[in-house]
Chain A
């Protein structure tokens, strides 16, 4: 019996370690100051009111996106935000094999200042965050 408990404890520790490693892979860290930027073609950024809607929007069809759109805030590029949380690799785009991180932010400037929301890791810039494929 004690062996089973020991094994379970070991597995739990391993799980925590993996979870920690996964967490470390996340692009942004809690407390990090970031700037929102959507890309050169259309630099505005949609900030979603829930993480699930962000994920659904990423993978969804145009109709799905149209349906979800009322739950998004359109922020101007350069809007400041503070990272609240980050969940790595859960936003799958419809036509992409790679997954983005879901980043919970507190908007610090602009029309939606003081509001909380969720953005993808491809929509943020900031110190310590690797340059995105697309330049400013």
Chain B
């Protein structure tokens, strides 16, 4: 029993492509999400940094106001110039606004200790106004030393608080910077990890895909090698010109089980076979060899096409062990002297005889092989000089045009009628036309075998039309 290895199916390749696409999409999603998250985080950090910077500037302006106030008060005490008094009041008016702005920022940044220092600062500043500045401005000459001492104390309090706020803002700024850097670093590390991960997955997938492609390529090569090995090289037969052609399907996955064979049984008798195994790939290709040699073996025992098919039909399912496989086959035995053709057809209706410009389709004489055990009728046909037997597989009649319509037997007969009398040329032309009809995308293999008869000697053929007889009772052709 033939047990054939199971190779990866195309569906696995489809699954691999789908997985690769899904992983790629996931990688892109992560990349985009990561980029957006990082952008948002960095924007937030920058906004916070800007806010801290604004707070630092505000504090600087407050310190400058404080310094200006002291200077204007001292200047007024010395010069009694009213413009100094106006300037003092102008800068004093700005203090409140700056204080509120800074307090708001410190609150937003949750710097409670700095906020407390700001309150101390504001209180010392207010005390300085009431206890020092206002008194010096009202009585410029009185108790200057004492007021200066008090002023010194209050200004030190303010400076101390201001320095603290400054330090806290700077600290906060450093925290934000560190946080930003940390986010960038984390994002970078995450990207690197994802990159490495996806890279590894891609490498693994690529390796898997390569292995799969390699396996498929091996299968294709094996199939082609087998087909080359087992496809019939027709041997010369007397009074016959034989042509054959084989058109492979566009997809290597569709390599089929088409086989034909012309085998010389004796000096005058030739065995003609064409068969099509259901299914594709190595299984079908291997079966072609089985068919060829089995038929030859049976034909050597008895030259009866009906018997040959019957015997083969008995052996085929038991040998193959696959109930879903079947074979359509045409078997003919041609007497090359008399041009008598006895044939039997197991469901193989793509068999024609061309007589001049007329083309006849040869009848099917039994069911396809591998389905049921039944006797096969044998029909006899007498060919005449110039006639041509044309056999093909269903790749020809199932050649689709752009609308998806099959060529059918009628189309094939028309093509055969249109071609010349050279069998080799006719076989090749049929393949070319089938390929052209399918727009160079043939779905199935096509095998064509054409046998033109032309007797060199003047042995008169026995005239007669096609005659039928029952397979078991048919008289076998006597071998001479």
A residues contacting B by CB (< 8 A) are: 38-39, 41-42, 44, 46, 61-62, 65-66, 69, 72, 74, 93-96
Q: Are A65 and B160 in contact (CB under 8 A)?
A: no
Shortest beta-carbon contacts, A-B, top 4 = A95-B164, A74-B149, A42-B155, A65-B153
* Alpha-carbon distance between A39 and B155 when the two chains are bound, in angstroms: 11
Given contacts A41-B67, A62-B124, A74-B148, contact A46 B164 (CB under 8 A): no
Find chain A residues with CB under 8 A from B157 CB: 62, 65
Task: Mark out the residues of chain B between 79 and 119 whose CB falls within 8 Å of any chain A CB in the assembled complex.
Answer: 117
Q: Are A95 and B163 in contact (CB under 8 A)?
A: yes
Find chain B residues with CB under 8 A from A94 CB: 120, 160-161
Least CB distance, A90 to chain B, in whole angstroms: 17
* Alpha-carbon distance between A13 and B6 when the two chains are bound, in angstroms: 92
Q: Are B155 and A41 in contact (CB under 8 A)?
A: yes
Find chain A residues with CB under 8 A from B63 CB: 41
Least CB distance, B130 to chain A, in whole angstroms: 12
* Alpha-carbon distance between A46 and B154 when the two chains are bound, in angstroms: 12
23 A-B pairs with C-beta separation under 8 A: A39-B159, A41-B63, A41-B66, A41-B155, A41-B159, A42-B159, A61-B120, A62-B124, A62-B153, A65-B153, A66-B150, A66-B153, A69-B149, A69-B150, A69-B153, A72-B149, A72-B153, A74-B152, A94-B120, A94-B161, A95-B117, A95-B120, A95-B161
Q: Are B117 and A44 in contact (CB under 8 A)?
A: no
Interface of A is mostly: loop
Find chain B residues with CB under 8 A from A46 CB: 149, 152-153, 156
Find chain B residues with CB under 8 A from A44 CB: 148, 152
**Interface status of B145 (Cβ within 8 A of chain A):** yes
Q: Which of A42, A62, A93 touches B127 (beta carbons < 8 Å)? A: A62
Q: Are A62 and B120 in contact (CB under 8 A)?
A: yes
Considering the complex, give the chain A residue whose CB is closest to the CB of B66.
A41
Q: Are A42 and B160 in contact (CB under 8 A)?
A: no
Find chain A residues with CB under 8 A from B161 CB: 94-95
Least CB distance, B35 to chain A, in whole angstroms: 41
**Interface status of B123 (Cβ within 8 A of chain A):** yes
Q: Which of B67, B145, B154, B164 touches A62 (beta carbons < 8 Å)? A: B154
B residues contacting A by CB (< 8 A) are: 63, 66-67, 70, 117, 120, 123-124, 127, 145, 148-157, 159-161, 163-164
Considering the complex, give the chain B residue whose CB is closest to the CB of A61.
B120
Find chain B residues with CB under 8 A from A93 CB: 160
* Alpha-carbon distance between A58 and B154 when the two chains are bound, in angstroms: 12
Q: Are A96 and B145 in contact (CB under 8 A)?
A: no
Q: Are A42 and B149 in contact (CB under 8 A)?
A: no
Taking A66-B150, A95-B117 as known contacts, 13 extra A-B pairs with beta carbons closer than 8 A to each other, sorted by chain A number, are: A42-B155, A46-B152, A46-B153, A46-B156, A61-B120, A62-B123, A62-B124, A62-B127, A62-B153, A69-B149, A72-B149, A94-B160, A95-B161
Considering the complex, give the chain A residue whose CB is closest to the CB of B116.
A95
Find chain A residues with CB under 8 A from B160 CB: 93-96
* Alpha-carbon distance between A62 and B160 when the two chains are bound, in angstroms: 11
* Alpha-carbon distance between A72 and B146 when the two chains are bound, in angstroms: 11
* Alpha-carbon distance between A41 and B330 when the two chains are bound, in angstroms: 116
Given contacts A69-B150, A72-B149, A96-B163, contact A42 B117 (CB under 8 A): no
Find chain A residues with CB under 8 A from B163 CB: 95-96
Least CB distance, A49 to chain B, in whole angstroms: 13
* Alpha-carbon distance between A50 and B145 when the two chains are bound, in angstroms: 21
Considering the complex, give the chain A residue whose CB is closest to the CB of B165.
A95
* Alpha-carbon distance between A39 and B152 when the two chains are bound, in angstroms: 11
Least CB distance, A53 to chain B, in whole angstroms: 12
* Alpha-carbon distance between A30 and B165 when the two chains are bound, in angstroms: 35
Find chain A residues with CB under 8 A from B148 CB: 44, 74
Considering the complex, give the chain A residue whose CB is closest to the CB of B114.
A95
Considering the complex, give the chain A residue whose CB is closest to the CB of B67.
A41
Find chain A residues with CB under 8 A from B124 CB: 62
Q: Are A42 and B120 in contact (CB under 8 A)?
A: no
Find chain A residues with CB under 8 A from B145 CB: 74
Least CB distance, B184 to chain A, in whole angstroms: 30
Q: Are A42 and B70 in contact (CB under 8 A)?
A: yes
Least CB distance, A65 to chain B, in whole angstroms: 5
Least CB distance, A35 to chain B, in whole angstroms: 17
* Alpha-carbon distance between A48 and B157 when the two chains are bound, in angstroms: 16
* Alpha-carbon distance between A33 and B156 when the two chains are bound, in angstroms: 25
Find chain A residues with CB under 8 A from B117 CB: 95
* Alpha-carbon distance between A61 and B148 when the two chains are bound, in angstroms: 19
Considering the complex, give the chain B residue whose CB is closest to the CB of A133.
B163
Find chain A residues with CB under 8 A from B150 CB: 66, 69
Least CB distance, B66 to chain A, in whole angstroms: 8
Least CB distance, B439 to chain A, in whole angstroms: 86
* Alpha-carbon distance between A61 and B164 when the two chains are bound, in angstroms: 15
* Alpha-carbon distance between A95 and B161 when the two chains are bound, in angstroms: 6
* Alpha-carbon distance between A41 and B163 when the two chains are bound, in angstroms: 12
Least CB distance, B40 to chain A, in whole angstroms: 35
* Alpha-carbon distance between A38 and B148 when the two chains are bound, in angstroms: 14
Q: Are A96 and B159 in contact (CB under 8 A)?
A: no
* Alpha-carbon distance between A39 and B149 when the two chains are bound, in angstroms: 15
* Alpha-carbon distance between A2 and B63 when the two chains are bound, in angstroms: 64
* Alpha-carbon distance between A69 and B127 when the two chains are bound, in angstroms: 14
Find chain B residues with CB under 8 A from A72 CB: 149, 153
* Alpha-carbon distance between A26 and B66 when the two chains are bound, in angstroms: 33
Least CB distance, B120 to chain A, in whole angstroms: 7
* Alpha-carbon distance between A95 and B149 when the two chains are bound, in angstroms: 21
* Alpha-carbon distance between A95 and B157 when the two chains are bound, in angstroms: 9
Least CB distance, B68 to chain A, in whole angstroms: 11
* Alpha-carbon distance between A65 and B157 when the two chains are bound, in angstroms: 9
* Alpha-carbon distance between A3 and B117 when the two chains are bound, in angstroms: 54
